[in-house]
């Protein structure tokens, strides 16, 4: 099955993307392919995907991105309790759709696929089902069972099955190789600036507004409680953030608290994600919302009383507005 998407960016350029959720109906002219998990679709990934689109144009073919879902660690039950993803499947689609690719294939990852060695995977999936003519891979990509398939193995397969293979170098900034792991660590350490720099866009969370205790409304700062759509979604370090939120097609400024609300909840048993949206008072319970984390303002803190908390929230709002007013437009928001 496949879906046809027409996505229009803020610059009004239209991209037509076919999204395949299985390979039974896949057809493409002279497929130029890359494969990967692409968690976060960061600058390193974009360098590969940009080259993919360029190479497809040069060769008169179609660009094909093949990604795996569920994440292999989920299927293989490998340290799943510590798995945190930068992007859910829907978020990944949303990011990939904007990059000018012709086809996105979402390959259902199974235990059977995990047992294929590199050349068998290439033969069964890339050659027989996709018809690859040119394959681009990242500098550290490994194929097949146990990720043991090296670039040399891929080259041998390409010679046997008559397609070209090209390996691209790492994308680096300031001496650091950009990777999903580096970005995850930055978010968990509270370095949102570094994470956003390497992502190339503000980190975001798609979710739904759920009911809360309405304490914020009582103290003049009503909040929307956010439940992320994906259980494995990485939530950044606890603290207060300046945000932009998209809901019902409207972009709003606000601030976000991630943490245990120690001033108003002395037990602090459950972490919450609460957004206060500036100059907005509509009922949005059960609505879909996307939170873009623009700046990290401070650590979460326990105050002596609610009055002290309110005074700090006023300062947080002022600081958030000042920071957000200085942000330039970003096409991914």
Residue 232 structure tokens: 């494995």
Whether residue 34 is found in the same domain as residue 125:
yes
How much is the pLDDT for 269?
66
- The residue assigned the tokens 């991209």 is 15
- Interatomic CA distance for residues 209 and 283, integer angstroms: 10
CB atoms within 10 A of CB 305: 8
Question: In this structure, is residue 330 part of a structural domain?
Answer: no
Tell me how far CA of residue 105 lies from CA of 40, 53, 65, 161, in angstroms. Answer: 17, 15, 6, 21
Whether residue 81 is found in the same domain as residue 9:
yes
List the CATH number of the domain containing 224.
Answer: 2.40.30.30
- Interatomic CA distance for residues 76 and 91, integer angstroms: 23
Whether residue 85 is found in the same domain as residue 157:
yes
How much is the pLDDT for 240?
98
- Tell me how many degrees the CA angle 261-281-253 measures, rounded to the nearest 5: 70
Whether residue 11 is found in the same domain as residue 158:
yes
- The residue assigned the tokens 């190479």 is 55
Per the DSSP assignment, residues forming a β-bridge with 33 are: 64, 135
Residue 269 structure tokens: 């048993």
- Tell me the pLDDT of the chain (333 aa) as tens digits: 545 443 333 333 344 799 999 899 999 999 999 999 999 999 999 999 999 999 999 999 999 999 999 999 999 999 999 999 999 999 999 999 889 999 999 999 999 999 999 999 999 999 999 999 999 998 887 777 877 778 898 999 999 999 999 999 999 999 999 999 999 999 999 999 999 999 999 999 999 999 876 677 778 899 999 999 999 999 999 999 999 999 999 999 999 999 988 877 766 567 899 999 999 988 899 999 999 999 999 999 999 999 999 999 999 999 999 999 987 655 566
How much is the pLDDT for 148?
77
- Interatomic CA distance for residues 4 and 17, integer angstroms: 6
Whether residue 128 is found in the same domain as residue 216:
no
- Print the domain residue range for 306: 202-325
Question: In this structure, is residue 112 part of a structural domain?
Answer: yes
List the CATH number of the domain containing 115.
Answer: 3.40.50.620
How much is the pLDDT for 329?
53
Whether residue 21 is found in the same domain as residue 98:
yes
- The residue assigned the tokens 């027989």 is 128
- Tell me how many degrees the CA angle 190-191-195 measures, rounded to the nearest 5: 120
Angle at which helix 192-199 crosses helix 43-59, to 10 degrees, equals 0
Whether residue 242 is found in the same domain as residue 165:
no
How much is the pLDDT for 266?
64
How much is the pLDDT for 22?
85
Q: 3-class SS at 158? A: helix
> How is the beta sheet containing 164-167 ordered, strand by strand?
2-8, 14-20, 103-108, 62-69, 31-35, 134-137, 164-167
Residue 177 structure tokens: 């190789």
Number of domains in the chain: 2
């Amino acid at each position: 099955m496949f879906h046809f998407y027409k996505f229009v960016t803020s610059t009004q350029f239209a991209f037509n993307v076919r999204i395949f959720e299985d390979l039974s109906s896949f057809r493409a002219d002279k497929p130029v392919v890359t494969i990967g998990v692409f968690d976060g679709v960061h600058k390193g990934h974009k360098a590969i995907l940009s080259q993919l689109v360029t190479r497809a144009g040069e060769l008169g073919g179609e660009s094909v991105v093949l990604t795996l879902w569920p994440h292999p660690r989920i299927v293989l039950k490998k340290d799943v309790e510590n798995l945190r993803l930068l992007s859910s499947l829907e978020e990944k689609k949303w990011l990939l759709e904007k990059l000018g690719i012709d086809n996105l294939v979402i390959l259902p990852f199974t235990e059977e696929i995990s047992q294929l060695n590199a050349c068998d995977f290439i033969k069964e999936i890339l050659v027989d089902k996709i018809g690859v003519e040119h394959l681009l891979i990242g500098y550290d990509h490994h194929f097949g069972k146990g990720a043991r398939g090296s670039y040399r193995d891929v080259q041998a397969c390409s010679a046997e099955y008559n397609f070209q293979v090209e390996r691209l170098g790492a994308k680096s900034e300031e001496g650091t190789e950009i990777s999903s792991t580096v970005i995850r660590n930055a978010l968990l350490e509270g370095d949102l600036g570094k994470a956003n720099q390497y992502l190339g866009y503000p980190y975001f969370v798609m979710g739904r507004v759920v009911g809360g205790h309405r304490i914020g409304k009582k103290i003049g700062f009503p909040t929307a409680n956010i439940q992320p759509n994906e259980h494995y979604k990485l939530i950044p370090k606890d603290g207060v953030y300046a945000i932009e939120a998209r809901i019902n097609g409207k972009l709003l400024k606000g601030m976000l608290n991630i943490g245990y609300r120690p001033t108003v909840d002395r037990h602090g048993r459950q972490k919450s994600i609460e957004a206060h949206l500036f100059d907005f008072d509509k009922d949005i319970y059960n609505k879909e919302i996307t939170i873009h984390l623009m700046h990290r303002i401070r650590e979460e803190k326990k105050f002596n009383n609610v009055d002290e908390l309110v005074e700090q929230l006023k300062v947080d709002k002022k600081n958030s507005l000042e920071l957000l007013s200085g942000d330039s437009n970003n096409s991914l928001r």
